Amino acid sequence: MTKAGLIKFRNDFLDHDITYSFLHSPATIIAALVTLVMFVMAFGAPLFTSYTPFDPGSLNLMDAFIPPAWEDGGTALHVMGTDGQGRDIFAAILYGTQVSLTVGLLSVLLSIGIGIPLGIIAGYSGGWVDTVIMRIADIQLTIPPILIALMIDGITRTSISRDLHEVVAIPVLVASIGIASWPQYARITRSGTLVERNKDYIAAAKLIRTPVPLILLRHILPNVIGPTLIVATIGVAVAIIIEATLSFLGVGVPPTTPSLGTLIRIGNSFLFSGEWWITFFPALTLVILVLSVNLIGDWLRDTFNPKLR
């Protein structure tokens, strides 16, 4: 590309409505930056802290209950203080955020992985296939995801031994949240498919005998996936909240690899005795993370599809 071409590209990009809307929404810019920073810090945790909070050998009980650096008795070695076992809170948050983000992202991937195909199939085939899929979705939609996730988690807990459960806890959690949230994606995809399937290009594809799976994959999917992905952004925030809630309730991530929710649960019991920082910083991180993702999702929705709710 020539220099003039590049400049034109840059100007077009800057002048584009979406860029404009992004650059004129300071909240969205901040949210995007915060999310990016959290993402990098969580997944590059060893680069940002030398502590290994979940290696029991590295902990020293002498370091327990150190308040944050700026409080009396605080030390610069533990900026956000330590918990009852001498764990560095900041390091724990980094690794906890990693778990929260992983569960959040994977479970949304799972629910769109279930929801989009079912939605497209229901919308394209119509008839009893549609009725059955959407009825199940309707019934499931009336029950809050958190309850379904709790149930699935409870069943697994009953069926397998406690030791095994610690190993499979995170996959089970991802599965519970993922299965609990697919109906909304199926709904959006289905309504998009209903519109697309009557369009001429689909009729043309049928006319030249394109196999149905190919029609669904190559023609319908690219045209209906946009709105679904926008909702999925907000879905990540919801999934992170569900994960944190389950972990807080003690049925989510086991304490050996704690997520933010587990950290809050652990710290909660120290709140009354004055060690507020043990629960405060993980809680603050969780809220900022969820809020940032929500802000981005809200902006995406308003910009690309004002009609979507």
Positions touching another protein (CB under 8 A) are 20, 139, 142-144, 146-147, 150-151, 153-155, 157-159, 237, 241, 244-245, 248-251, 264, 268, 271-272, 276, 279, 283, 286-287, 290-291, 294-295, 298, 309
| Closer residue to another protein (CB): 77 or 139 | 139
Least separation, in Å, of the C-beta of 147 and another protein? Answer: 4
Terminal alpha carbon distance of the chain: 40
| Closer residue to another protein (CB): 2 or 161 | 161
| Closer residue to another protein (CB): 215 or 294 | 294
CA dist., res. 262 & res. 285, Å (int): 13
* Residue given tokens 């590309």 in the structure block: 1
Least separation, in Å, of the C-beta of 271 and another protein? Answer: 6
Please provide residue 17's backbone torsions phi and psi, each rounded to the nearest 5 degrees.
-55, -40
HSE-up (13 A, CA, CB side) for residue 171? 6
| Closer residue to another protein (CB): 225 or 291 | 291
80, 216 Cβ separation under 8 angstroms: no
Least separation, in Å, of the C-beta of 287 and another protein? Answer: 6
Which DSSP symbol is given to 57? G
| Closer residue to another protein (CB): 112 or 290 | 290
**Across-strand partners of 88?**
82
Least separation, in Å, of the C-beta of 222 and another protein? Answer: 28
189, 119 Cβ separation under 8 angstroms: yes
119, 186 Cβ separation under 8 angstroms: yes
Please provide residue 88's backbone torsions phi and psi, each rounded to the nearest 5 degrees.
-70, 120
| Closer residue to another protein (CB): 42 or 240 | 240
Instruction: Pull the structure tokens for residue 82.
Output: 């330590």
Query: Which of 248, 229, 254, 255 has the alpha carbon at shortest distance from 286?
Result: 248
| Closer residue to another protein (CB): 186 or 239 | 239
